[in-house]
Amino acid sequence: MSEHARIEELPQVGMAFMDDDHEEAMGLLARVVETLEASRDGHAEPEGLRRDLRNFIEHSRAHFRREEVIMKAVHFPPFHIHKNEHDQRLEELVTYVDDLDAGVIGLEDLKDQFLNEFLPWYQRHCDTMDQATARYVEKQAAAGPTKA
Ligand SMILES: [Fe+2]
Ligand SMILES: [Fe+2]
C-alpha cells in the first residue's frame, strides 16, 4: 500500500544517531498504522494498539531529547524553534491518545492523523530542522572543540 511506501521515505540527515532514530521511528509508526488498519472493519480497539502508541510516543520523546541535548551542547542558535516543534508534536501525540480514550476520535480518524498530519510533519521536520541541526553540529565539530 502506498501509505507504507510513504512511511519509508525519510530524508537522511547524515548524523548517525538521528538517522537511526528516524528509521526506528518510521518502523514504530508503520506498526501503529498496521494495527489500525487491521481493525478497519471492526469497531473494537485492536489488541496491542495502546502498546504500539506508547512505544511510538516514548521513542519520539527520547529522540527529541537526544537532539535537544546535542543542540544545547553546540549552542545551536535556533534551539528554541527546533525544540518548540518537538514539544508541540509530542503534545499532539498525547492528545491523540486522550481523544481516543474520550471517544472524541475513532480509529480511522487516528490513522488519518498519523498519516496525513504527523507523518508529513515528521518528514518536513527531518528535512529542515534536523538537517540544519546536523549541518551545524558537523560545522562545529570541524571547527574544533567548543567552549563548555
Ligand atoms: Fe529528528
Ligand atoms: Fe528534531
C-beta of residue 67 within 8 angstroms of C-beta of residue 18: yes
DSSP per-residue codes, the chain? -HHHHHHH-----S-HHHHHHHHHHHHHHHHHHHHHHHTTT-SSPPTTHHHHHHHHHHHHHHHHHHHHHHHHHTT-TTHHHHHHHHHHHHHHHHHHHHHHHHTSS-HHHHHHHIIIIIHHHHHHHIIIIIHHHHHHHHHHHHT-PPP-
CA of 126 to the centre of ligand 2 (A): 6
Summarised one tens digit per residue, pLDDT across range 34-53 is 988 887 656 667 778 999 99
C-beta of residue 130 within 8 angstroms of C-beta of residue 67: yes
pTM for the predicted model, two decimal places: 0.89
Q: What string of pLDDT tens digits covers the 148 residues of the chain? A: 445 546 776 888 999 999 999 999 999 999 999 988 887 656 667 778 999 999 999 999 999 999 999 999 999 999 999 999 999 999 999 999 999 999 999 999 999 999 999 999 999 999 999 999 999 999 998 887 655 4
CA of 48 to the centre of ligand 1 (A): 25
CA of 81 to the centre of ligand 2 (A): 10
> For domain 2-142, which CATH number applies: 3.90.1150.10, 3.40.50.1370, 1.20.120.50, 3.80.10.10?
1.20.120.50
**CA 7 to each of CA 49, 73, 77, 134: distance values in angstroms, whole numbers, following the listed order:** 18, 31, 30, 22
Q: Where are the domains of the chain?
A: 2-142
